[in-house]
């Protein structure tokens, strides 16, 4: 759940990402890559978003973040559709047709959008008098430009109802996995809980999580195993048992796939890395900048771009 502490329905943050588990939320999410390359798994597609490029994610669109580099730093704007309700009621049914803005807008429009994101970030993080009005003006200009120069549609009531059913079912599937990853579970159990066929659920999970149920199960188990590797001294065998891996070989395999290292090597590498820099321990690997750090980061990127 996204928190909106500073401006109601709006959140801006600079986030240094290594990995973010598959998730979804009710906000639009606009992302500007400040450094590195962001990998996004979304809409059954793997995308690599280079420095300087932007994406827009629709509400309840499942997505997963990772990076091919040591880390990737991005500016995120998360905004509830209800923010626009009084003067654009259809915002709750608005859906952009593509994730990558570069595939919907010409270069000059992309540059305008980047400039507006920087202006928004500078106002939001500086928190100078009346920053709320300055921030809101930039947000409105951003969405006006998006609506004028990119591809989008307004869903019907029936389509929204269908999307709600899908979103609720997907939440139940993800919650079931989170609650039972230590056990030996199968997609058949999920299908029975949803009163649907196993065949239907196979396609449903693949379409909305961009991977098979077993792959999502293994990824969830590894996310918990990674947390234990990073934050405890538990033996590898015990971590396997704790996280639902029936054999150490399965943990070795997915650890190699996700990190390029065996669990023992990964633990040592993270111990060295975390001794040099802070981070967020747990299933997600990211570091959200403070307002002062975010402002300094944006100014540094802009200064570098002007050289």
CATH number at 248 reads 1.10.10.60
**Shared-domain flag, residues 151 and 287:** yes
**Shared-domain flag, residues 241 and 290:** no
Task: Give the residue among 241, 236, 235, 229 at the shortest CA–CA distance from 267.
Answer: 229
**Shared-domain flag, residues 296 and 150:** yes
Query: pTM for the complete prediction?
Result: 0.84
Cα gap 100→104, rounded to integer Å: 7
What is the number of structural domains in the chain?
Answer: 2
In a domain, 136, yes or no: yes
- Name the residue range of residue 171's domain: 157-276
> Considering Cα of 4, then 5, then 8, then 13, what sign does the dihedral take?
negative
Per-residue model confidence (pLDDT) at position 269: 86
CATH number of the domain where residue 96 is located: 2.60.120.10
Q: Do 26 and 94 contact (CB within 8 A), yes or no?
A: no
**Shared-domain flag, residues 72 and 209:** no
**Shared-domain flag, residues 63 and 145:** yes
In a domain, 37, yes or no: yes
Q: Do 63 and 57 contact (CB within 8 A), yes or no?
A: yes
Per-residue model confidence (pLDDT) at position 305: 77
Per-residue model confidence (pLDDT) at position 124: 97
Q: Do 37 and 67 contact (CB within 8 A), yes or no?
A: yes
Higher pLDDT, 142 or 44: 142
Lowest mean pLDDT among 96-110, 195-209, 237-251, 268-282: 268-282
> Considering Cα of 34, then 41, then 244, then 237, what sign does the dihedral take?
negative
Per-residue model confidence (pLDDT) at position 278: 46
pLDDT in tens, 249-279: 999 999 998 888 999 999 988 776 654 444 4
Task: Give the residue among 298, 242, 306, 235 at the shortest CA–CA distance from 76.
Answer: 298
**Shared-domain flag, residues 147 and 172:** no
Q: Do 82 and 128 contact (CB within 8 A), yes or no?
A: no
**Res. 281 pLDDT band, cuts 50 70 90:** very low
Rg of the chain taking only CA atoms, in angstroms: 21
**Shared-domain flag, residues 143 and 292:** yes
Q: Do 103 and 53 contact (CB within 8 A), yes or no?
A: no
**Shared-domain flag, residues 178 and 208:** yes
In a domain, 148, yes or no: yes
> Considering Cα of 199, then 204, then 210, then 216, what sign does the dihedral take?
negative
In a domain, 5, yes or no: no
Lowest mean pLDDT among 3-7, 123-127, 193-197, 296-300: 3-7
Residues in contact with 298: Cβ distance below 8 Å, sequence separation at least 6, in sequence order: 14, 34, 75, 118, 121, 122, 125
46: β partners:
41
What is the CA angle 179-24-246, rounded to 5? Answer: 35
> In whole numbers, what is the pLDDT of the chain averaged over residues?
91
**Res. 110 pLDDT band, cuts 50 70 90:** very high
Asked if the model's pLDDT at residue 1 lies above 80, the reply is no
In a domain, 145, yes or no: yes
E-assigned strand segments in the chain: 10-23, 28-35, 38-42, 45-49, 54-57, 63-67, 72-79, 94-96, 152-154, 285-288
Chain-centroid distance, C-alpha 189: 28
For residues 125-134, give the mean pLDDT: 95
Asked if the model's pLDDT at residue 306 lies above 90, the reply is no
Per-residue model confidence (pLDDT) at position 198: 96
**Shared-domain flag, residues 265 and 116:** no
Per-residue model confidence (pLDDT) at position 100: 96
In a domain, 296, yes or no: yes
**Shared-domain flag, residues 187 and 272:** yes
pLDDT in tens, 4-40: 568 999 999 999 998 888 889 999 999 999 999 999 9
3-state secondary structure 219-235: HHHHHHHHHHHHHCCCC
In a domain, 96, yes or no: yes
In a domain, 67, yes or no: yes
**Shared-domain flag, residues 236 and 286:** no
Task: Give the residue among 287, 291, 256, 280 at the shortest CA–CA distance from 16.
Answer: 287
Cα gap 134→167, rounded to integer Å: 34
Percent of the chain whose predicted confidence (pLDDT) is above 70: 93
Asked if the model's pLDDT at residue 82 lies above 90, the reply is yes
Phi and psi dihedrals of 99, rounded to 5?
A: -80, -45
pLDDT in tens, 143-198: 999 999 999 999 999 999 999 999 999 999 999 999 999 999 999 999 999 999 99
**Shared-domain flag, residues 265 and 293:** no
Asked if the model's pLDDT at residue 304 lies above 90, the reply is no
From residue 233, alpha-carbon distances to 78, 175, 222, 280, 283 in Å are 37, 28, 16, 18, 17
């Amino acid at each position: 759940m996204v928190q909106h502490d500073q401006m109601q329905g709006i959140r801006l943050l600079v986030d240094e990402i290594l990995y973010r588990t598959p998730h979804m939320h009710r906000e639009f999410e606009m992302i500007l890559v400040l450094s590195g390359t962001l990998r996004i798994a979304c809409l059954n597609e793997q995308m690599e978003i280079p420095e300087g490029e932007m994406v827009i994610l629709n509400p309840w669109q499942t997505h997963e973040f990772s990076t091919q580099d040591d880390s990737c730093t991005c500016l995120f704007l998360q905004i509830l559709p209800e923010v626009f309700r009084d003067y654009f009621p259809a915002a709750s049914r608005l859906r952009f047709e593509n994730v990558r803005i570069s595939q919907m807008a010409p270069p000059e429009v992309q540059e305008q959008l980047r400039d507006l994101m920087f202006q928004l970030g500078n106002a939001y993080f500086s928190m100078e008098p009346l920053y709320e009005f300055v921030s809101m003006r930039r947000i409105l200009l951003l969405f006006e430009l998006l609506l004028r120069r990119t591809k989008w549609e307004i869903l019907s009531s029936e389509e929204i109802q269908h999307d709600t059913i899908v979103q609720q079912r997907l939440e139940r599937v993800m919650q079931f996995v989170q609650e039972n990853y230590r056990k030996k579970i199968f997609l058949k159990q999920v299908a029975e809980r949803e009163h649907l066929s196993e065949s239907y659920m196979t396609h449903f999970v693949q379409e909305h999580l961009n991977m098979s149920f077993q792959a999502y199960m293994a990824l969830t188990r590894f996310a918990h195993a990674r947390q234990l590797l990073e934050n405890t001294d538990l033996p590898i065998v015990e971590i396997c048992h704790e996280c639902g891996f029936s054999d150490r070989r399965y943990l070795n395999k997915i650890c190699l796939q996700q990190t390029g290292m065996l669990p023992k090597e990964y633990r040592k590498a993270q111990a060295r890395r975390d001794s040099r820099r802070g981070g967020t321990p747990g299933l997600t690997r990211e570091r959200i900048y403070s307002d002062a750090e975010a402002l300094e980061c944006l100014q540094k990127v802009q200064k570098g771009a002007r050289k």
